[in-house]
Structure 1
Amino acid sequence: MKTIEFIISEADIEAFAHVSGDFNPVHLDQEYAKVHGFPNRISHGLLTMGKVWSVLSSHFLKPNDLPYSYEMKFIAPVFVGDTVTLSINHVGDKWTIKGVCAKKPIINATILIKQ
């Protein structure tokens, strides 16, 4: 098993909102997020998913490796400024990834790679 970390930054949230067109205030407005039960603004789910793929593809995969299945279960929200720690296992074409923030599970993913 290998571990690696990344941070969901303010710049990540802003850039993803503009690229995706998802300007939901729960991602961009602190007061709105608090009124709706969150302690902080939450990351876009697809931003978190994309960061996981970025880590996997840039640190572990070869240039010709292609995903043919990507499943992710969101267990808990990821907040702006969170450090996400990924535990990554690899057997054959199957990559399993568990993500935590402050020791709390936030995602489980399985990615199948054609090599």
Structure 2
Amino acid sequence: MMEKKIKMTQAIIDQYGAINGDNDTIHYDADLASRRGFRGTLAHGLNVMGYAAGLAARRYGADWYTKGELYTKWIAPVCPGDNLTVSLRDDGEIEGKVDQGITMVGHARLAEQ
């Protein structure tokens, strides 16, 4: 199993938002996020998924870029202050977890030819 551990911060969320152009205030306004029932602003799902894709690239090498298949389903949010762990099991299953529980599930594997 491979893992990546990230201490999620607002700075990471802000930097990712600047890269992808997602200006939804739920990622940047803690008061708004709180009023909507969240623990804080929300990390971008694609940012969290990107950590899984990075693990897959390390596991599968160059084949990942032409034969890779990535599927994710978000279960719960990732917020600033969370200790995020993204794992890729030997069977290709991925999971994202924070202290409160599972946030993302799915798989990263090479497509069948």
Listed one character per residue, the Cα deviations across residues 88-113 of structure 1 (whole Å, up to 9, x for unaligned) are: 2124xxx1111210150111121122
In structure 2, what is the Cα distance between the partners aligned to 1:21 and 1:62?
A: 29
Listed one character per residue, the Cα deviations across residues 34-84 of structure 1 (whole Å, up to 9, x for unaligned) are: 111112111111111112212432x43424433432110100011123121
* Structure (1/2) with the larger helix percentage: 2
Q: Which piece of structure 1 moves more, 48-57 or 103-112?
A: 48-57
Give the superposed CA RMSD.
Answer: 2.2
Post-superposition shift, 1:13?
0.9
Kindly tell me: are residues 43 and 31 of structure 1, through their superposed partners in 2, closer, same or farther at Cα, counting changes over 3 Å?
same
Matched to 1:101, the amino acid is V
Post-superposition shift, 1:9?
2.5
Q: Which residue does the alignment assign to 1:104?
A: 101
In structure 2, what is the Cα distance between the partners aligned to 1:38 and 1:61?
A: 36
Matched, 1:76 2:73: no
Secondary structure of residue in 2 paired with 1:90 = coil
Secondary structure of residue in 2 paired with 1:108 = strand
Matched, 1:50 2:47: no
Q: Which piece of structure 1 moves more, 96-105 or 47-56?
A: 47-56
Q: Which residue does the alignment assign to 1:18?
A: 18
Kindly tell me: are residues 56 and 6 of structure 1, through their superposed partners in 2, closer, same or farther at Cα, counting changes over 3 Å?
farther
State the identity %.
Answer: 24
Post-superposition shift, 1:26?
0.8
Secondary structure of residue in 1 paired with 2:37 = coil
Post-superposition shift, 1:32?
1.0
Superposition TM-score, scaled by structure 1 size: 0.80
**Contact 2:26 2:32 (8 Å CA) reproduced:** yes
Secondary structure of residue in 1 paired with 2:61 = coil
Matched, 1:3 2:37: no
* Structure (1/2) with the larger strand percentage: 1
Kindly tell me: are residues 2 and 112 of structure 1, through their superposed partners in 2, closer, same or farther at Cα, counting changes over 3 Å?
closer
Kindly tell me: are residues 50 and 35 of structure 1, through their superposed partners in 2, closer, same or farther at Cα, counting changes over 3 Å?
same
Listed one character per residue, the Cα deviations across residues 7-46 of structure 1 (whole Å, up to 9, x for unaligned) are: 3222221122112221111100111111111121111111
